[in-house]
């Protein structure tokens, strides 16, 4: 729907208890939810940017074909049932009687249109590369074909949020293609307008200040227990200010409760805390295009040995993370129990000397300062640790809205990134973070440093068509071991999740390890 752009007179960066926050302070009741996230959605085009903020938006304004429940099992949404016709064909039956916010009917043609656009998206096409075609069999049946057997087709269906093909087709008032996917940071019809089938419509938005949502009156899921009629989302990047907003009653729900405030929120009167072990890997990428030394595996290994992951967890994260020696968290198919953090400064110095860099060298590093828990502090800690082996770091931190465009230029020598596997599977980490970059297929889309190991890539591709789960797990575990030996990615930890809410907000049933709260089902008691 066309969005009403509001001009708020004050910003929410002023004093929390001053006029700015009171601008959005609604009386809490069963119909209105006031949220403070660490950042607001970067764009309204849900296929422009593959990020946590955009995926949260997707679950508010759109609906997936299927989604994960709290037990990480697939449950129906816009697809009501499915049948594996043969090794390379999946047929889905779609829900009838579903309306888009525009009033258009949802049909199989919208699914086909959406998948074809996803395959054009630089951020998503690697996920959807296995799908060679999507065909509308009839108005409420769609068939997906893959080139070869693919064990994760239902997993990637959780990322198909059908878009309103009629709404996004044609030209806007300036004669531009409404369906265009523009580079992040640029504006288009889809970045400023939205029509989904989801529980909420956007009624007003001012980037970085506020987003207003209202319940879609024709929402199909009449069995949902959700009773929230309006949502006001306020981005508050500063941890202390966000926590203070919750404890003062100025907001009803916050994300990313920082480790140093966990006990404070847990013990606060009238507030509940929900903690979830996380699967998002936080780590660093080394740019082999800008820093010659990083082409040497011994130098990359030295960087890994120089970083004290356990120390970061204990002293900075206060135990609110799991130190990592690989990409895959426990429970993932490729998790290799033998791979633990390997902090050893003397070994790191020896590797630097062996590689011919005993005197060290200087690098630039970038990190967001409002996307992951203590992201800027982690980067600073790592910079200090690297100084012990002669690597002198020029660190720059910035808000996430500035960080992604800077990251995309790939001009820094080292960058911090967090990644949650989009398919809840090991292979996704490799496909996006470490595969040799291929703009045609989207492989390595977030491979900041142009690391390339064709042997590991071949192992991942072979695992992607292996239907024997035990064999596939062994293949992925071997790939993790080889990546560790080559130091193609520098893991730090898997970040845990913590949410805080007023006691009348029944938060626990709608939050999950994916960090995409299903707020359409949220109940707020009187």
pLDDT band at 252 (very low <50, low <70, confident <90, very high): very high
Q: How far is it, in rounded angstroms, from Cα 35 to Cα 383?
A: 34
Q: What is the per-residue pLDDT for 6?
A: 34
DSSP bridge pairs for 276: 497
pLDDT in tens, 387-425: 999 999 999 999 988 999 999 999 999 999 999 998 899
Q: What is the per-residue pLDDT for 352?
A: 98
> Which of 160, 139, 1, 151 is CA-nearest to residue 77?
160
* Distances from the Cα of 379 to the Cα of 133, 192, 307, 374, 395, angstroms: 42, 33, 11, 9, 8
Question: Which has more pLDDT, 46 or 70?
Answer: 46
Above 50 in pLDDT, residue 24? no
pLDDT band at 526 (very low <50, low <70, confident <90, very high): confident
**Coil, strand or helix at 357:** coil
**Coil, strand or helix at 512:** coil
Joined together, the tokens standing for residue 524 give 């707020």
Average the pLDDT over 434-459 and give the result. Answer: 95
Phi, psi (deg, nearest 5) at residue 510: -110, -5
Q: How far is it, in rounded angstroms, from Cα 285 to Cα 49?
A: 19
Q: How far is it, in rounded angstroms, from Cα 123 to Cα 121?
A: 5
Above 90 in pLDDT, residue 244? yes
> Which domains, ranges and CATH numbers included, belong to the chain?
28-62+198-276+498-525 (3.40.190.10), 64-158 (3.90.76.10), 281-495 (3.10.105.10)
pTM: predicted TM-score of the whole model, two decimal places = 0.81
86: how many CB neighbours lie within 10 A of its CB? 9
pLDDT in tens, 331-363: 899 999 999 999 999 999 999 999 999 999 999
**Cβ contacts of 186 within 8 Å, gap of 6 or more:** none
201: how many CB neighbours lie within 10 A of its CB? 21
> Which of 525, 4, 482 is CA-nearest to residue 213?
4
Q: How far is it, in rounded angstroms, from Cα 1 to Cα 224?
A: 23
**Cβ contacts of 150 within 8 Å, gap of 6 or more:** 88, 130, 464, 465
> Which of 464, 453, 458 is CA-nearest to residue 425?
464
Q: How far is it, in rounded angstroms, from Cα 52 to Cα 39?
A: 10
**Furthest C-alpha separation in the chain:** 69
């Amino acid at each position: 729907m066309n969005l009403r752009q509001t001009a708020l007179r004050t910003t929410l960066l002023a004093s929390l208890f001053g006029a700015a926050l009171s601008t959005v302070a609604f009386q809490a009741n069963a119909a209105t939810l006031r949220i403070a996230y660490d950042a607001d959605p970067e764009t309204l085009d849900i296929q422009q940017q593959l990020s946590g903020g955009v995926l949260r938006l997707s679950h508010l304004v759109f609906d997936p074909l299927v989604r994960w429940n709290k037990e990480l099992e697939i449950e129906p949404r816009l697809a009501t049932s499915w049948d594996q016709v043969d090794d390379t064909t999946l047929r889905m039956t779609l829900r009838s009687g579903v309306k888009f916010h525009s009033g258009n009917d949802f049909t199989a043609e919208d699914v086909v249109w959406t998948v074809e656009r996803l395959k054009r998206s630089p951020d998503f096409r690697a996920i959807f590369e296995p799908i060679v075609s999507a065909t509308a069999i009839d108005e409420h049946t769609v068939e997906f074909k893959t080139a070869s057997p693919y064990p994760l087709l239902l997993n990637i269906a959780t990322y198909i949020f059908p878009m309103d093909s009629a709404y996004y087709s044609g030209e806007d008032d300036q004669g531009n293609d409404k369906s265009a996917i523009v580079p992040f940071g640029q504006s288009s019809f889809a970045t400023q307008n939205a029509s989904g089938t989801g529980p909420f419509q956007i009624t007003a938005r001012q980037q970085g200040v506020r987003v207003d949502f209202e319940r879609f009156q024709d929402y199909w899921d009449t069995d949902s227990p959700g009773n929230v009629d309006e949502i006001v989302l306020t981005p508050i990047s500063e941890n202390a200010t966000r926590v203070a907003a919750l404890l003062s009653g100025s907001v009803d729900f916050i994300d990313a409760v920082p480790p140093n405030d966990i006990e404070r929120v847990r013990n606060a009167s009238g507030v509940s805390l929900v903690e979830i072990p996380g699967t998002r890997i936080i780590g660093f990428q080394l740019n082999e295009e800008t820093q010659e030394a990083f082409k040497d595996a011994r130098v990359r290994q030295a960087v890994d040995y120089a970083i004290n992951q356990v120390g970061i967890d204990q002293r900075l994260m206060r135990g609110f993370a799991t130190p990592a020696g690989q990409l895959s968290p426990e429970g993932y198919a490729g998790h290799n129990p033998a791979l633990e953090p390997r902090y050893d400064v003397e070994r790191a110095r020896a590797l630097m000397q062996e590689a011919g860099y005993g005197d060290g060298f200087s690098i630039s590093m970038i990190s967001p300062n409002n996307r992951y828990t203590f992201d800027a502090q982690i980067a600073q800690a790592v910079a200090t640790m690297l100084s012990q082996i002669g690597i002198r770091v020029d660190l720059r931190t910035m808000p996430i809205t500035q960080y992604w465009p800077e990251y995309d230029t790939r001009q820094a020598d080292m960058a911090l990134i967090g990644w949650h596997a989009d398919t809840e599977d090991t292979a996704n980490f490799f496909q996006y973070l470490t595969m040799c970059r291929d703009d045609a297929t989207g492989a390595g889309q977030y491979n900041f440093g142009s690391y390339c190991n064709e042997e590991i890539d071949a192992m991942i591709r072979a695992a992607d068509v292996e239907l024997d789960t035990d064999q596939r797990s062994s293949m992925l575990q071997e790939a993790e071991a080889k990546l560790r030996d080559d130091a193609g990615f520098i893991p730090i930890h898997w970040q845990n999740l913590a949410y805080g809410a007023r006691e009348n907000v029944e938060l626990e049933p709608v939050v999950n390890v994916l960090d995409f709260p299903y707020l359409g089902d949220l109940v707020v008691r009187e």
